[in-house]
Every structure is written in structure tokens, then in C-alpha cells.
Amino acid sequence: MTKAERKGKEHGAKSLELRAESKEEEALSCRPYALIIEWLRERLNPKLYRHSIATQELAAELAEIYNVDRQKAVIAGLLHDCARGLSNEELLSHADRYHIPLDHVQLAQPVLLHAPVGARLVQMELGITDNEILHAIAAHSTGSKEMSRLDKVLYVADSSEPNRDYPGVQHIRDLASSGDLDGALLKAMEVKIRYVMGQKLMLHPLSTEAWNDILKGSRRKELPADLRGLCSADERG
């Protein structure tokens, strides 16, 4: 067993059924799991690392419930916060290096960049090219318009993994485990938006878009099939 594989085993890698040179890794064009673990551990403090492992495990569970590719959920869950340990200056410099366009909210709150910068880091340094994984990582902080099921699974897993402890988190877990992914996502977004407002922080436009988009989707589902097409007309009133 290599040093990297030993490290992976020590930190829970064994339970994930991802092995070096597995078909899934080939399909994802990424490195063996043990090396990914080693790469990640060098970038995160122990608390963030624990959060990443817990997010990965919950994302894998939710992937089973919501018919999402489990391997993609595992990789996205594990790596979503890989840039969270970078300082504001480092995030801005990485964004510049990777030509990530900045908006005024990200300039005021560079921590938001850990999501898109993280997506570019795993692409450039780990060779992960799967667009669904990269999008889920890039969107995990703000959300985005037209979120995929993988995007939603990651957002909910990140918000409600077992180390999270805030009022309402159990409700998110209950919704997620009962088959209501959009309900869990809305609740998780609501908690985050309330926090952002309470702290007098700026709300990113992508969060507003994500919120409106999910809400619109949920309301359409509640309508009888023959009225769903009228939904946009209804919103003009």
C-alpha cells in the first residue's frame, strides 16, 4: 500500500468504494482517490476536511435517493470546499489567473469565489473535466439558475451534513431524506439568505435566481397539468 493510500484509509476513504484505477476514475479522467485525499488534506484545516468528508458521505446517500450518479456526488462532495482555505487575496489572484469574471458582490465578498475557484483548481490540478461535477462545485455557495439534481444534492449535503448545527437543519435533513429535494433546497437557501441579510452582507444575484427558479418549479408542480403552461402569465399579475 502506498503512503497516499494509507492516508486515505486512515481518513475514511475506505468506506467510499472508490479504488485507484477504477472504471469510475477512468470515466472522470481524474486521479486515484487516495491521491485526491492527499491533495485535499494539504489544502484544508482539520475542521474543513471533516466537513468535506461528511458532505461527501451525505451527498452519496442523497445520490441514491435522487437517482444521481453516485461517483459524481462523491467527488463533488469531497472537493467542493477545496479552495475554502485560501485567503481573500489568494482567491482574487486565482480568479485573475483562471480568468474568472468578477462581479461587484464577489469583489466585496471574495469568500464567494472559493466555489468557482475550487472548480477551476480541481480541473487544473486533478484533471477533473466532468462538467456536471465542475458546475456543482462552482454553484455550491450561491446556487444558480436551472440547478441540476447533482447541484441540488451537493447544496443540500453541504448545508445539512451531520456536523452542521443551526436552527432548522434537522428540517432540511428530514425533507431531504423523505424525497423532497426541492423542499430541502429551498429551506437550506432560506436559512442562508436569512443569515446573509442578518449579517448585512450582499446577496449574490445567482442566489436570487436560484431561489426564484426553484420556487417557480415547485409551484408549477402543484398546479394541475393543464394549467402549468399558464404559470408565467400568472406571475405577471
Residue ranges that bind Fe ion, judged by CB under 5 A? 81, 158
What whole-number distance in Å separates Cα of residue 22 and Cα of residue 211?
Answer: 37
**E strands in 84-223:** none
What whole-number distance in Å separates Cα of residue 155 and Cα of residue 27?
Answer: 24
Pick 70 or 80: Cβ nearer Fe ion: 80
Q: Which three cell numbers stand for residue 192?
A: 442562508
Minimum distance of Fe ion from residue 170's CB (angstroms): 18
Which H or E run contains 4? helix 3-10
Q: Which three cell numbers stand for residue 175?
A: 425533507
Pick 71 or 142: Cβ nearer Fe ion: 142
Minimum distance of Fe ion from residue 231's CB (angstroms): 32
What whole-number distance in Å separates Cα of residue 33 and Cα of residue 41?
Answer: 12
Q: Helix or strand or coil: residue 193?
A: helix
Yes or no: say if 77 and 55 are a contact pair by the CB < 8 Å rule.
Answer: yes
Minimum distance of Fe ion from residue 118's CB (angstroms): 8
Pick 4 or 74: Cβ nearer Fe ion: 74
Q: Which three cell numbers stand for residue 57?
A: 458521505
Pick 32 or 118: Cβ nearer Fe ion: 118
Query: Which of 13, 55, 19, 56 minimizes the C-alpha distance to 37?
Result: 13
Pick 4 or 150: Cβ nearer Fe ion: 150
Minimum distance of Fe ion from residue 16's CB (angstroms): 18
Minimum distance of Fe ion from residue 52's CB (angstroms): 7
Yes or no: say if 126 and 29 are a contact pair by the CB < 8 Å rule.
Answer: no
What whole-number distance in Å separates Cα of residue 40 and Cα of residue 56?
Answer: 13
Pick 38 or 158: Cβ nearer Fe ion: 158
Minimum distance of Fe ion from residue 23's CB (angstroms): 28
